[in-house]
Amino acid sequence: MNNRKNNPLKPNYPDEKEMSGCAISGIMSEAGNCFSGREIIDSIANMHERSNGLGGGFAAYGIYPERSEHYALHLMCADEQARKAAARVLERRCVVHDDEPIPIRPMDSITDRPLLHRFFVDVTEKEMEKNYELDEEDVMVQIVMEINTEVEDAYVFSSGKNMGIFKGVGYPEDIGRFYRLDEYDAHIWTAHGRFPTNTTGWWGGAHPFGLLDWSVVHNGEISSYGINRRYLENFDYHCTLRTDTEVVCYLFDLLLRKHGLPAEVACQAMAPPFWSEIERMPERKQKLARAVRQVYGGALLNGPFSVVVGHSNGIIAFNDRMKLRPMTAARKGDMLYVASEEAAIRVVCPAPDELWYAKGGVPIVGKLKGKEHGEQRQKSTATEKEMAH
């Protein structure tokens, strides 16, 4: 380890634990229409008091239409030395089409920032031949994990196609202006305002957490983090960002992309019914619920949480089974809104067509018309109806 001073990627941990509020918000056009980041900034700013300035962030989908075929890797690095080390990994395993600093708007409230850089890449044919048993997304996951575990003071915090994560230490509305998100248009936006619980606020620990096109914002605490992390290590996922929410992102990639589960079943694995509830289910539903709990015990998320997950073709939002964290949802035409508080929806959609409060463990699923995540997933209509009850 080196002795670099004023390193934003080496947080100082506090002596006392602070309990949290945290705010989450998501907005999407199911018709795929792009809209400015100003709306999501206004929504999350409405919940300012749920944050304490130690973390904010956004995920945006559809922002790189001219480079939509390339992986957009967003990196935070302590300095130029770390950036060059990460670039060497990418140049060895990828074709780098372009790279540039991530545009920012300097602000007095955003200090001690790392070097923020983005690369647009494709996996080389040589890498694919060497890893012939894997698909391209698996190889990209390998590359992200290599940088995050082996390159000192450099982290890939966004790695999807035609999407990007923008996060840091500060209030979320300041982070949004810092990254100039009012200049971006996207068809899906998610946002987070952080009030850390068990870990301090630092740039890598801000939400969203991302892998490929998955992004996760979370309010609450994953007390099963240790078990979830060890479970994921069996599948070559490595948690490096010292925040419990990271496991949720990797679990979605594992259960939906790699195992091909429907969103409803994946959410049931992470927030399953109690055994006493399963025993009262009809035989068919009981059989499915028992199988999910037995096969995916390591994926169970314990503790209070509400989560909004973004991916290229939609949003998935859900609570823990006891609903210990709030979540509100609304629709207006083709627009879907989810947020910690109703006020955060009404500030951007004053008169929704429909407004409701999420049920514990039952996901709210928004999809772009005619699309779903992962072509390999073949959903059973009967199963989807069963999972909704």
Annotated catalytic sites, by residue? 22
Query: Both tokens of residue 162?
Result: 């035609």
What single DSSP character describes residue 4? -
Query: Both tokens of residue 216?
Result: 């996760």
Query: Both tokens of residue 372?
Result: 């779903």
Q: Where are the alpha helices (DSSP H) in 188-338?
A: 225-233, 246-252, 263-270, 275-279, 283-295
User: Do the Cβ atoms of 363 and 317 come closer than 8 Å?
Assistant: yes
Q: How far apart are CA 32 and CA 251, in angstroms?
A: 26
Neighbours of 234 (CB within 10 A): 9
Q: How far apart are CA 351 and CA 246, in angstroms?
A: 35
User: Do the Cβ atoms of 27 and 176 come closer than 8 Å?
Assistant: no
CA 289 to chain centre: 26
User: Which residue shows structure tokens 């096109």?
Assistant: 213
3-state secondary structure at position 348: coil
Q: At what angle do helices 136-150 and 80-93 cross, to 10 degrees?
A: 150
Residue 65 burial class via C-beta count within 10 angstroms: exposed 0-12, middle 13-18, buried 19 and up = exposed
User: Which residue shows structure tokens 């627009």?
Assistant: 335
User: Do the Cβ atoms of 242 and 47 come closer than 8 Å?
Assistant: no
